[in-house]
Each structure stands twice: as C-alpha cells, then as structure tokens.
Structure 1
C-alpha cells in the first residue's frame, strides 16, 4: 500500500470513529423517558408542597380570624343580654311609678330576630 492509500484509509477510520463518538455522545447526553417522567414528578411534587404550604398558611389565618369573630360575637351577645335586662328593669321601674314608657322606635326584622324578647 502506498502512503496515499494509508492516508485515505486512516482518514476514513478517523472519520468513522468520529461519527461513532458523536453518535454515542449524543445518545449518552439524551435524557430517557424515565428521567423526564421522574423530573416531571419531582416538579409536580415540589409545586404541590409549595401549594400545600400556602394552603396551610391561609388556613391558619382563617382559623385565627374565626376565633376572633367568635369572641366578638360572644362579647356582642353578652352586651345585648345586658342591654335587654337593663331595658326590662327600666320599663318595670317606670310602670311601678304609674307612668308608661315611651313607645319604642321601629325595629328592623333583622334586629327583631335577635332581640324580640325586649318588647314581650
């Protein structure tokens, strides 16, 4: 074989080896379907954990607000009971003295549901 033939053959071998290396490197760098699914699952789980943390924080705020509103309603209930009793005592006192208390102002139906026992 001549030097030119050796050069041509070695160039061909180098070209084929280069093509195989490129193909193999490209194949090795490519991600498998399993890897893609795992990464998708990891992303979804991470997002769910973030959303769950947000939901827990919001639930904590709602519970705090609920407790605050329950205390406020309880305080208002006690205030209405005290006022109802006070009005009842005053009306009784006025009637004992032989007078009639002034007529009450009109009351809305919403208010009447809560303090209907005052006029009774």
Structure 2
C-alpha cells in the first residue's frame, strides 16, 4: 500500500551545487547529509524526506514548513533573497482535512539561489 507511506525524496534543480547546498542548509537549518560531485548531487534530510539538489533535475515548486514566517522572510530579505510574494493567509483550516484545525495557513514565495521559486508555509493558530 503506497497511500500511507511518506514521500521519500524530492529533487530540485541546482545549477551551482555548492551554492544551492549552502542556501538550503541555511534556509532549513539542517546540514548537507551527503554530496557527490561528480555527478552533481547533494542531499539534505527533512524528517522522512530527502531533498536532492541535482544539476540535472528540473525546477520544482517546493512548499517548506517554517516557524515564524514573517521573521524568516525578513531575515531572507536582509540577506538579499528575492521575495516574490509577501507572507499572507492562504486558507483557514476549520478541520484537519488539509492542515491543523483552528489554524491559518500562511505562505510566502521566494527565489532560491538557483532561480527556482519556492514557498515557505506556516500554520498559525487563529
């Protein structure tokens, strides 16, 4: 049965592997678990899921959970990261179908070091 199994890995395009690995390690506050160059791969472990930075991968739209969305966006902006869309409420969760009941789902979109658009997501109690 696949439906209750966790997502194992997701790949993101990394034109400059070292730069991308440093960006995501800082953004997510996790170390690079492994890097292989050649062929141009770096891995970060996010819970049950590996983030694979890959020179040969297409761009993916990643939605990454963070605490303190406003503070995170302010720090990223101060470090020169392009903010595509400011933090805002996307959805109010009345039940647990798509997120924790009683929370507001807030998102901001930004460009990573490789030009990929990524989203930061926060569930804030209402």
Greater per-residue strand proportion: 2
Greater per-residue helix proportion: 1
Larger radius of gyration: 1
| TM-score class, shorter | under 0.3
TM-score by length of 1: 0.22
TM-score by length of 2: 0.21
